Amino acid sequence: MAVISTNQPGIKPQQYTSTQIATGVFCVALIFTLLQFTGLLPSWLHRLPESWIPPFAVWLDAAFNFIRTDLGLEKLTRWFAEGPLQFMLDTSANLLYGKKRWPGFEQIPWSAIAAAAAVLGYYLGGWRLAALAGGTFVWTALIGQWTIAMETMSVLVVAAPMAFVIGLGLGIAAWKYPWVDRAIKPILSVLQTLPFFTYLLPAVIFFKVGPTAGAVATIIYAIPPMILMTTLGLKKVSSEVVEAGKMSGCSRFQMLRHVYVPAARTEILVGVNQVIMLCLAMVVLTAFIGMPGLGAKLLAMMGSFKLGRSFEIGVTIVLLAVTLDRLSKAWVVKLPEHFEKGTPWWQRHKYLLAGVGAFVFFTILGQFVEWFAEIGRRQNFSQGKEIDTAIKTFLAFDLVQATTEKIRYVLNVWVLNPFRDFLLSIPTAGFILFVVAGALALGGRRSGIYAAVFFGLVALSGWWDRSVITLYSVISAVILATLIGLPIGILAARSEKWSQRVLLICDTAQTFPSFIYLIPAIMLFGITATSVVMSILIFAMVPLVRYTVEGLRGVPEEMNEAADMSGATRMQKLWNVQLPLALPTMAVGFNQAIMFAFFMVIIAAFIGTQDLGQELQKTLAGTDLGKNFVLGICVSLMALTFDMAIMTWADRKKRLLGL
């Protein structure tokens, strides 16, 4: 960690390096903890006395009310939600599932949409994409979920483009003006780490419960990667291209429209892809605030313990996500086509014509043959009951019972519960110093100071024990996810074919609604810490595996060859060449895993926990907004501490490696 001092040439020799300070802080923390165990530590260092805790909840409540009514923000957002946004949502709802609104059409037949999607798939990526795109919509219709899927889509077709436009605009502004960049970054970080239960009530109050609030929550959640990717892409535009634009006399707007944005196309489209994936990831959670369709149905199905049908809805969501993802990726790769001069119009637009043709054909067909317009409840092929039976039979096997019983016993009684009790036994002051030492060692002084301030605030919030329990679930799940995920990633990265397969599984695990994991987790492991950790684990493993595969596959070929030439064995190559080079990318994955875990640990309150999530769930009735904010901010602050330390470390390592 001597890096810091080399970066700052003016440093005096007697100043300590971050590592030395970190070691010092660590020792103090250790002394505190040992004193506590021997009973010598003054009690105020162990836990803050109640009387020291400022009434944050009251202050936040007052601040919220001030912004809401005195500043008139509510009027503004209400106008937007009930005016333009409602209008757009109503229009798309009419077109997609025939809601009785302007322009008053009938529902578009499912076969027409499926056919048009297949033609689009063929245009972008040949037969395979055509089958995927067409097949997804055929599946949705046959399984009897067409209307609810279209209810979901009617919100997404409004939310995704809006997230794209706003994200692109903010991304351009952040690239153009550094102060915007500086202002946006912290806001984005906080937005990304605030737990969902904290968004829920403000969304309902400001944007009216229903599709409007659902759309807004989706947009907020989906914007950040769009902004980041846009800025990244614009920064990378090479100076030759810019020069060429200037030479041809472009105005400032023309430069942006015809030079910068096209040159940054790839990054911007990756942003689009991320927007789509995040929108679909929110389908179920936004059902709590009025998002109609698949998510709402899923919650209703789970409320009456219909696992089979919940599972089918999950499959539909994954299929939609994978289809849209593959289509948008194919669009990224597809280069603009150029035609010889004089090519007739119909030839240049033959796919467009084919798509419109298929659409019109099936729309008309739907008027005559009912089946092509709508598949009724009695005609669908839902296998809900059969899947239910299959799950129950599986659970009744003695082998399954015995195995899960053992895992549950070992994990709960020997590992998780003792670990939790140990973390809770560390005095608050010592705990904060341990975290600070870690942040110092990883991210340097700035990270250390932030860690001290952030965790200090958490201690002052008065929710220390619950925060520690939250942190304990996150840490346990991430450690387990690393133990399982890293080997999988390393093995998969060996061959192109396996990388592809594992990445597909990652996509599936990421978009498969997390709620569906909760039920099998409970059925296997009961309402215990094991279930909580297991459900977080599945979710947190995704980025770990993904970034490990991508990091290892991204190692420059020259490096691999150099290693082979010098006669390294496979293990030597992995340990001495590939892993060190892939480490910064893997650290990003590790960081993502922690962020995902913080996200999921709050959702796991639905299983039954004793952490911040459980308290947050209690505040949902809206009578205690201030407390809701305090709890949400606690989660956010802890997540941000980790985020900052790890990302600083990864950035520095990357620069050192020249990547």
Partner 1 sequence: MNKFTTALATGVLAFAPMAAFAADSSDPIVIPIHNWSSQIVMSNVVGQIFEEMGNNVEYVTTDSQAVYESVRLGDVTLEMEVWEGAFGASFRAAMEKGGIVDVGDHNAVTREDWWYPMWTKDACPGLPSWEALNDCAEIFATAETGSKGRYLDGPVDWLKHGKERVEALDMNFEVINAGSAAALWAEIGAAEADKRPVVVFNWTPNFAEAVWPGEFVEFPEWVDGCDKDPAVGPNPNALYDCGNPADGYLKKAAWEGMEEKWPAAYAVLEKISFTNPQIAEMARLVDVDELEPDEAAAEWLEANQDVWKAWLN
Q: How far is the CB of 594 from partner 1 (least distance, A)?
A: 22
Please give the Cα distance from 320 to 137 (Å, whole number). Answer: 8
Closer to partner 1 at the Cβ: 356 or 402? 402
User: Is 33 a binder of partner 1 (CB under 8 A)?
Assistant: no
The amino acid at residue 435 is: V
User: Is 623 a binder of partner 1 (CB under 8 A)?
Assistant: yes
User: Is 638 a binder of partner 1 (CB under 8 A)?
Assistant: no
Q: How far is the CB of 299 from partner 1 (least distance, A)?
A: 4
Kindly state the helix (H) or strand (E) to which residue 248 belongs, with its residue range: none
What's the distance, Cα to Cα, between the start and end of the chain in Å?
19
- Applying the rule CB under 8 A, the residues between 278 and 307 that interact with partner 1 are 287-292, 295-296, 299-300, 302-305, 307
Closer to partner 1 at the Cβ: 420 or 652? 420
Backbone φ, ψ for residue 81 (5° rounding): -70, -40
Q: How far is the CB of 409 from partner 1 (least distance, A)?
A: 4
Stretch of 24-32, 56-64, 165-173, 608-616 lying at the interface with partner 1 (CB under 8 A): 608-616
Q: How far is the CB of 146 from partner 1 (least distance, A)?
A: 13
User: Is 620 a binder of partner 1 (CB under 8 A)?
Assistant: yes
Q: How far is the CB of 329 from partner 1 (least distance, A)?
A: 32
Stretch of 2-10, 480-488, 550-558, 616-624 lying at the interface with partner 1 (CB under 8 A): 616-624
Closer to partner 1 at the Cβ: 273 or 614? 614
211-236 and 178-193 helices cross at what angle (nearest 10)?
140
Q: How far is the CB of 38 from partner 1 (least distance, A)?
A: 29
Closer to partner 1 at the Cβ: 130 or 605? 605
- Output the 3-class SS for 106-123: CCCCHHHHHHHHHHHHHH
Q: Which contacts qualify for 244-251: CB closer than 8 Å, 24 or more apart?
A: none
Among 194, 644, 648, 634, CA closest to 455: 634
- Applying the rule CB under 8 A, the residues between 178 and 207 that interact with partner 1 are 200-201, 204-205
User: Is 40 a binder of partner 1 (CB under 8 A)?
Assistant: no
168: helix, coil or strand? helix
Out of 607, 612, 637, 644, point to the residue binding partner 1 (CB under 8 A).
Answer: 607
Among 642, 639, 641, 631, CA closest to 466: 631
Tokens (6 digits) for 423:
């973390």
Tokens (6 digits) for 103:
């322009």
Q: How far is the CB of 374 from partner 1 (least distance, A)?
A: 13
User: Is 528 a binder of partner 1 (CB under 8 A)?
Assistant: yes
Out of 614, 639, 640, 644, point to the residue binding partner 1 (CB under 8 A).
Answer: 614
CB 533 within 8 A of CB 470: no
Instruction: Please tell me the count of residues contacting partner 1 according to CB under 8 A.
Output: 56
User: Is 538 a binder of partner 1 (CB under 8 A)?
Assistant: no
Q: How far is the CB of 271 from partner 1 (least distance, A)?
A: 30
Q: How far is the CB of 616 from partner 1 (least distance, A)?
A: 10
Closer to partner 1 at the Cβ: 293 or 584? 293
Q: How far is the CB of 221 from partner 1 (least distance, A)?
A: 17
User: Is 208 a binder of partner 1 (CB under 8 A)?
Assistant: yes
Q: How far is the CB of 229 from partner 1 (least distance, A)?
A: 32
Please give the Cα distance from 278 to 596 (Å, whole number). Answer: 13
Q: How far is the CB of 416 from partner 1 (least distance, A)?
A: 10
Please give the Cα distance from 82 to 68 (Å, whole number). Answer: 17
CB 597 within 8 A of CB 536: yes
- Applying the rule CB under 8 A, the residues between 495 and 524 that interact with partner 1 are 518-519, 522-524
219: helix, coil or strand? helix
User: Is 62 a binder of partner 1 (CB under 8 A)?
Assistant: no
Closer to partner 1 at the Cβ: 350 or 406? 406
Burial classification of residue 230, based on how many CB atoms lie within 10 Å of its CB (0-12 exposed, 13-18 middle, 19 or more buried): buried
Closer to partner 1 at the Cβ: 326 or 408? 408
Out of 553, 608, 654, 659, point to the residue binding partner 1 (CB under 8 A).
Answer: 608
Please give the Cα distance from 606 to 598 (Å, whole number). Answer: 15
Cis peptide bond prior to 225, omega within 30° of 0: no
Out of 187, 483, 527, 657, point to the residue binding partner 1 (CB under 8 A).
Answer: 527
User: Is 609 a binder of partner 1 (CB under 8 A)?
Assistant: yes
Instruction: Give how far Cα 629 sits from Cα of 15, 26, 238, Å.
Output: 40, 31, 44
Residue pointed to by tokens 């400001």:
206
Closer to partner 1 at the Cβ: 206 or 362? 206
Site string for partner 1, 387-426 (x = CB under 8 A): -----x--xx----x---x--xx--xx---x---------
User: Is 71 a binder of partner 1 (CB under 8 A)?
Assistant: no
User: Is 622 a binder of partner 1 (CB under 8 A)?
Assistant: yes
DSSP string for residues in 440-506: HHHH-HHHHHHHHHHHHHHHHTT-HHHHHHHHHHHHHHHHHHHHHHHHHHHHHTTSHHHHHHHHHHH
Q: How far is the CB of 307 from partner 1 (least distance, A)?
A: 8
Please give the Cα distance from 444 to 646 (Å, whole number). Answer: 10
- Applying the rule CB under 8 A, the residues between 586 and 605 that interact with partner 1 are 604-605
Out of 135, 210, 456, 554, point to the residue binding partner 1 (CB under 8 A).
Answer: 210
Site string for partner 1, 434-463 (x = CB under 8 A): ------------------------------
User: Is 27 a binder of partner 1 (CB under 8 A)?
Assistant: no
Q: Count the Cβ atoms, other than its own, within 10 Å of residue 349.
A: 12
Q: Which residues touch 616 (CB under 8 Å, ≥6 apart)?
A: 195, 197, 198, 602, 605, 628, 631, 632
The amino acid at residue 532 is: V
Q: How far is the CB of 292 from partner 1 (least distance, A)?
A: 6
Q: Which contacts qualify for 159-162: CB closer than 8 Å, 24 or more apart?
A: 159/214, 159/215, 159/218, 159/219, 159/222, 159/279, 160/222, 160/275, 160/276, 160/279, 162/215, 162/219
Cα maximum dimension of the chain: 90
User: Is 35 a binder of partner 1 (CB under 8 A)?
Assistant: no
Q: How far is the CB of 155 from partner 1 (least distance, A)?
A: 12
Burial classification of residue 516, based on how many CB atoms lie within 10 Å of its CB (0-12 exposed, 13-18 middle, 19 or more buried): buried
Closer to partner 1 at the Cβ: 46 or 420? 420
User: Is 377 a binder of partner 1 (CB under 8 A)?
Assistant: yes
Please give the Cα distance from 279 to 163 (Å, whole number). Answer: 9
The amino acid at residue 105 is: F
For binding to partner 1 (CB under 8 A), which residues are involved? Answer: 200-201, 204-205, 208-210, 287-292, 295-296, 299-300, 302-305, 307, 377, 384-385, 392, 395-396, 401, 405, 408-409, 412-413, 417, 518-519, 522-524, 526-528, 604-609, 614, 617-618, 620-623
